[in-house]
Structure 1
Amino acid sequence: MPDLWLPGAEIHDLGDHAPTDQQYPPKAIAHITWDRNATAAAPQDWCTYEDLVNYFTGSGAGDAPHLVWDPFSGRTAQLFPADSRSKSLLSPTESPTRTNRAGRVVIQIEAVFFPYCRYQGRVYPRLVDTPCAGWGRIHAWIASWGVPDVWPMGRPADFSGHRDEQVWETRGGWYAHAHVPFNDHTDPGSWPDFTAGSGTPDSPPSQQHPVPPQDPAPARYQVSINGLAYGYGAQGYQVTAVGRALVSRGFGAHYHSGPGPTWTDADTENYADYQGSLGYSGQAADGVPGEGSLNRLLGYIPGQRAVSVAHVVSAARTDPGAEQGHRTYGSEVAIVEQALVDEGLLEQRWADGSFGTRTVAAYAAWQRRCGYEGGAADGIPGQATLHRLGAARGFSVTD
């Protein structure tokens, strides 16, 4: 069975899954968000991917598609599994089909785009004028669900509507929103070709589609998990944390140096080996993390480098007496632990997000290094020592 979730997508499962109507052929529906009205004479700033994801996971959940796709960076959020209907089509009672369900799959994609949007100073009249980053990955996944590479009512080239109930009911393939019977929208206006690659020759790696599974070259695209980037070219403490965890699990064979804070092909290859050990295959084992495998590797999901004093104090008081490996505020504790590792006070293998007895001992050593003694060096973080550790190792501290 193909993957229910697009490999590499950011998963925001809305629940409320419902089956499709299997008597109809498989379909994919192309939309643009068209959240602003702009013209060539009066372009407007692009509405961000984060804004649209927040909308569809909040007040707009009743109109949510399967995928929200940023054609500039390739980031993609998935809100429903492939075998469920989503909710972006009108389905009035007079329609002969339940339009959101009229196919063995009816996978709906909303490109975060409107005509004449302005992105980083450049104006884009049509969706196909963007880099269309990540399109190859989306197309391959949808094709794996049996959706044929055809437009039964013609590939969209403008914003005119064309609807035919018989074609809709009898032919599988790709449909513009402008093609769906009993709907009145005329988007998307254009859509990338099935054989076209994403990105342009001078696009950075994060704006290029991943290499198809049969190509032996490592995947070169990025995903964002909890606001941090992973995949080729990503930078930050989370990259180092992943690399060190891979080495500690025995998946460091492709490193010639490091691991370090910049994601390289070696990180991808090592992560692919780790995914394979979990039973993943194909694109699900292409070496770019998903939330599930990342959580299994680290035991927590890294977040922005900010630590609350109250949170880590709570962890230091709770974790040592709890079940082995218990994590209270694991992502924040992991930042503190990694700083202690970098200070030479804690072994890397104990930087696991659990403020256990070894972390308490390491923090007590840090307190003594800061000049504290006796009960003031008890391994329970305080404002002053935590701020000093943050200043030394590059994370911020809040109350």
Structure 2
Amino acid sequence: MTTHHAAIIHPDRSLTYCGTVDEEHLDTVRALAALPDTPRFTREHPARPGSLFVLREDGDLDWYEPVDAAPFTVHAPDGHTPAEDTEPGPASATLPRGASGTTWISGAIGIGDGSIGGAMDTPDNPPRVVLHTTESPAGGRYLESIGSYLVQVASEPQLIYCPVTDRVGQFGPLSQSGRALKNDGARRTNREGKVCIQIEVLGYASKPWTTGWDPASKPGWQKILAAARSWGVPKAFPAGPPARYPGPDKPRSRSVWQGSGGYFGHCDVPGNDHGDPGQIDTGKVLGGGGPPPPPGGGDAFPGAGNFGPGASNAYVTRLGNMLCARGGRRFYSVGPGPNWGDADRNATRAFQQAQGWFGSDADGLPGPTTWELLVTGRGNDIPGGGSTPSVSVAHLKAAASQDIPAPDGHTTYPSEVRVLEDALAAEGLLNRAYVDGSFGTRTRDAYAAWQRSSAGGGYSGSDADGIPGLTSLQRLAARHAFTATA
């Protein structure tokens, strides 16, 4: 009877070894996962017989590996040399707009070590997005557990998205290739085009994830659309809408795939045999939904009368979502909505000032030029707070030493602590209910998880005590648009 190592991979990418179990234990695990409505389900490793994963709603990933299995590396060689690759990880941040596109999406949850594929084979071909489905439940923290699974089997896309929670995870820079497609003979489909941004969406191809889903109320998805626009990905499905699943397979045209830019389903890619993402609503995917678009198309400026005091409509919501995707999230305490308010005006003014405008040109009311820059993804993003927020290590240490022993709610340097907590919440390490400016035990534990993570430095022992140091704080700042100082 085969004996297996048992381990748990946690959402912060740390691993807990649990000892060994026998085959009977695995049979029980599979049987429990097969029960109706269970929050767990199993996946076999596609290339290592006997290696079993259990994906969990709480974000943990259970991993069973035969004790006599040969050692393996997570990233198998994929035919490129290190010289081809840009420097991996969040330090590459965002390239100048116009010279290239967004490489890291602000606020996305980092998954893995930031290294995926490499340079594109055909960078002169049009840019594209490829949509997959994970064939799993959505919601909870499946994003983390499924993300961990994709890393372990070396099948990472660039992005993973949950349509229930609107959370975005990112495995590596959008400028590099993903690993979620099969080659088409000798042609590497992962490296087709200027970019080939692959998105794993939590859900099932047989139950389209766009049903009951409104992109206008999903700032996470709007960020993805803005990033795609920054690379010049056309708002079109050149191979037509993805087909219903299960159902007849669509033709996978090489000429369309290689020669056209836009959005494709996994079902459209030559050399591949999957039928996902199913019959999704392509209009919603491209940012539509809500009331009918105005004359001239959904991206046309809807008119000044739709904005300003007293306005209440879907265009105000869309404006807010686009501003959030361009750096304006801090102006909204609860997120964009249809009712015009001070947050909308302040965020619009900040975007206008970022273009170098002043006076009546930066009055906080969108005009045709402001709207065009937002819908096309052009122009300058809003800098992080008039100037980028600054967070001091000394202030955070003082906050921890004073807030932790004090009664709940005690604050020391609350504005800087809140910047830190907001970043930890965006990483999925801290519940947003505790983003309150008080450096309590939950903030300390969340920061310790960041220190232990590969993105935070991979520290252990007393070096991962939850009290910020300059190096780990600088790593977090690089991902979340603030400045770390001593």
Instruction: Decide whether aligned partners of structure 1 residues 276 and 79 sit closer, same or farther in structure 2, where only a CA change above 3 A counts.
Output: farther
Aligned to 1:234: 334
Instruction: Decide whether aligned partners of structure 1 residues 80 and 397 sit closer, same or farther in structure 2, where only a CA change above 3 A counts.
Output: closer
List alignment gaps of at least 5 residues for structure 2.
1-97, 292-297, 308-315, 357-369, 418-435, 443-486
TM-score by length of 2: 0.44
- SS of equivalent residue, structure 2 residue 190: helix
Task: State how far apart, in whole Å, the 2-side matches of 1:340 and 1:140 are.
Answer: 39
Aligned to 1:328: 397
Task: State how far apart, in whole Å, the 2-side matches of 1:234 and 1:77 are.
Answer: 21
Query: 5 Å matches for 1:311-350?
Result: 319=394, 326-328=395-397
Instruction: Decide whether aligned partners of structure 1 residues 171 and 132 sit closer, same or farther in structure 2, where only a CA change above 3 A counts.
Output: same
Q: CA deviation at 1:8?
A: 5.3
Task: State how far apart, in whole Å, the 2-side matches of 1:148 and 1:7 are.
Answer: 19
Q: CA deviation at 1:113?
A: 1.5
Aligned to 2:125: 24
Task: State how far apart, in whole Å, the 2-side matches of 1:81 and 1:8 are.
Answer: 12
Q: Deviations over 1:245-300 (max 9, x none)?
A: xxxxxxxxxxxxxxxxxx984235435555777789955899x99xx937975545
Instruction: Decide whether aligned partners of structure 1 residues 327 and 128 sit closer, same or farther in structure 2, where only a CA change above 3 A counts.
Output: closer
Aligned to 1:207: none
Aligned match for 2:235, one of 149, 166, 173: 149
Q: CA deviation at 1:100?
A: 0.8
Amino acid at match of 1:162: P
Instruction: Decide whether aligned partners of structure 1 residues 161 and 11 sit closer, same or farther in structure 2, where only a CA change above 3 A counts.
Output: same
Aligned to 1:106: 196
Instruction: Decide whether aligned partners of structure 1 residues 77 and 394 sit closer, same or farther in structure 2, where only a CA change above 3 A counts.
Output: closer
Query: 5 Å matches for 1:288-299?
Result: 293=384, 298-299=389-390
Q: Aligned pair 1:51/2:142, yes or no? A: yes
- SS of equivalent residue, structure 1 residue 28: strand
Task: State how far apart, in whole Å, the 2-side matches of 1:285 and 1:181 are.
Answer: 32
Query: 5 Å matches for 1:152-171?
Result: 152-159=238-245, 160-171=249-260
Q: Aligned pair 1:4/2:102, yes or no? A: yes
Aligned to 1:388: none
For the pair shown, which has the larger CA radius of gyration, 1 or 2?
Answer: 1
Aligned to 1:181: 270
Aligned to 2:77: none
- Report how many residues are paired: 270
TM-score by length of 1: 0.52
Q: In the alignment, is the contact (CA less than 8 A) between 1:275 and 1:285 conserved in 2?
A: no
Q: CA deviation at 1:83?
A: 1.7
Percent identity over the alignment is: 22
Q: How well do the aligned residues superpose, as a CA RMSD in angstroms? A: 4.9
Aligned to 2:181: 89
Q: CA deviation at 1:23?
A: 4.0
Task: State how far apart, in whole Å, the 1-side matches of 2:321 and 2:104 are.
Answer: 14
Q: Aligned pair 1:126/2:126, yes or no? A: no
Q: CA deviation at 1:97?
A: 1.6
Q: CA deviation at 1:183?
A: 1.6
Task: State how far apart, in whole Å, the 2-side matches of 1:139 and 1:187 are.
Answer: 20
Q: CA deviation at 1:89?
A: 1.2
Amino acid at match of 1:29: V
Q: Deviations over 1:290-331 (max 9, x none)?
A: xx937975545xxxxxxxxxxxxxx9xx94xxxxxx532868
Amino acid at match of 1:142: A
